[in-house]
Amino acid sequence: MLQIEQLEQHYGQSLTLRAVDLDVPEGGCTCLMGRNGVGKTTLVRCVMGLEAVSAGRVTFAGQDITRMRTEQRAAGGIGYVPQGRQVFPRLTVEENILTGQFAARGGSRRGGIPSHIHALFPVLKDMKSRRGGDLSGGQQQQLAIARALMLEPKLLILDEPTEGIQPNLVADISSLIRTLISDQGLTVLLVEQKLPFIRKTADTVCILDRGQAVASGALSILNEDLVGRFLTV
């Protein structure tokens, strides 16, 4: 679904991503892992076209998108839930979700919120008239995911979806991701650091360290040695 080849990115004179290779298989969840500051968010922002790449190539569903504008990538089928969620605090829940349709191909001509999104997030239907800024962290995360799903994406990128979420809701986020994969055929690229969540949710993993991909493969590669060398603080 997504292939990243020899990707490099600079901030000024600093090289933040160093010849990164990453394959995201279709129909599963790939988790991008690593300590803080190793380039995980930078990498997914490069995939979305929010950061310019210095070298390398990004291919999505067989198409080279390396130089595409962000809105073209979204319309082409990539949904993105950024770190921190970034909901519109003064818009209602319903208005927040509907903003997602304008990024879709021909989105401004579409109707209201599809029934399957209401089915996935019944709490948002009940709160449709509340302002986004008044919701809890977990509810805002659901809102941000619902907004991204308005694109009807093929690939959904989630950057730290458990950040600031109550522990009792973390399992719900994992179940939601697996449901999106199994029932709707989505492919998910997940940025995450919580190991129990990763082991429950991901199919494949890629570990970054100092801007480089140092290990990748099936979830089973995530042994104590890799965790100790690249993930523990």
d(CA 23, CA 47): 12
* Residue 228, number of CB atoms within 10 A of its CB: 9
Residue 103: its pLDDT value, please?
75
Give the tens place of pLDDT for each residue, 157-182.
999 999 888 888 888 999 999 999 99
d(CA 164, CA 10): 29
* Residue 53, number of CB atoms within 10 A of its CB: 21
| Whole-prediction pTM | 0.92
Answer yes or no: is 209 within a domain.
yes
Q: Cβ distance 113 to 105 under 8 Å?
A: no
Stretch among 24-28, 54-58, 170-174 having the lowest mean pLDDT: 170-174
Answer yes or no: is 76 within a domain.
yes
Answer yes or no: is 160 within a domain.
yes
pLDDT at 224 over 70: yes
Residue 4 forms beta bridges with which residues? Answer: 22, 58
Answer yes or no: is 130 within a domain.
no
Answer yes or no: is 31 within a domain.
yes
pLDDT at 106 over 80: no
Please report, for the domain that includes residue 185, its CATH number.
3.40.50.300
Answer yes or no: is 47 within a domain.
yes
Walk across the sheet containing 14-24 and list its strands. 14-24, 2-11, 55-60, 63-64
Full domain range(s) for residue 198: 2-87+153-230
Answer yes or no: is 41 within a domain.
yes
Q: Cβ distance 28 to 74 under 8 Å?
A: no
Number of H helices, E strands in the chain: 9, 10
Comparing 2 with 170, which gets the higher pLDDT? 2
Residue 217 forms beta bridges with which residues? Answer: 205
Mean pLDDT of 145-168: 92
Strand ranges in 39-194 using DSSP code E only, listed in sequence order? 55-60, 63-64, 78-81, 155-159, 187-191
d(CA 125, CA 112): 12
How many domains is the chain partitioned into structurally?
A: 1
Give the tens place of pLDDT for each residue, 59-68.
999 999 999 9
Backbone φ and ψ for 32, nearest 5 degrees, come out as -95, 120
Across the chain, what does the average pLDDT equal?
Answer: 92
Mean pLDDT of 89-114: 80
Residue 55 Ramachandran class (φ > 0 left, ψ -120 to 50 alpha, else beta)? beta
